[in-house]
Amino acid sequence: MFDALRGFLSNLATPVASRRHFDENDHRLAAVALLIHVADSDGDFDKQENQRLREIIKEKFELDAGTAIQLVRDALKSDREAVGIDHFVNILKRVLDESGRLKLVEMIWDIVFADGEANETEESIVWRIAAMFGIGETDLETLRRSRSPGHWPDTSS
């Protein structure tokens, strides 16, 4: 009972703009924070990456627009506050099976290639995440090739 009261009072003392709507251990928050971290790893979280991030959230998490925006806000805040990516990876490792981890790395490649190319910093971080997930080089390279712009279907016809 006292914990509930303490939580209520804490929420009253916290400005609305800084309140989190997604729990710090929510796998969706961890996944989006990881996607944001990768997108910003080259110091340029550009329009294409932002757009692709929103598409992924809408498609994969089936959230309404307002909730998706809040998830991005909370994930941005979590990424800024994080010392590294280990916390996010550990949450996701507890929740996702091998198939889920492969799908998440595929989403990460989507973000990396959203602007048409992957730079060395982005690739390095994806390789590190994959290693932390226990994803081998063969699977990682297959996912990379499937998401790279040279393998995207031609939609101009």
Shortest CA distance to 93 belongs to which of 24, 25, 139, 23? 25
Mean pLDDT of 1-25: 53
CB count, 10 Å around CB of 128?
A: 14
Read off the pLDDT band of 151 (50, 70, 90): low
Q: What six digits make up the tokens of 61?
A: 């998490």
Residue 42: the pLDDT is: 83
Does the pLDDT at position 30 exceed 80?
Answer: yes
How large is the angle between the packed helices 98-112 and 120-133, nearest 10 degrees? 170
**pLDDT at position 16:** 41
pLDDT at 155 over 70: no
Question: Could you give the CA distance from residue 28 to residue 25 in angstroms, rounded to a whole number?
Answer: 9
pLDDT digits (tens, 9 = 90+) for 105-149: 999 999 999 988 888 999 999 999 999 999 999 999 999 998 887
CATH superfamily of 23-149: TerB-like (1.10.3680.10)
Q: Report d(CA 19, CA 23) in Å as an integer.
A: 10
* Domain segments of the chain as ranges: 23-149
- Identify the weakest region by mean pLDDT among 3-7, 26-30, 34-38, 50-54: 3-7
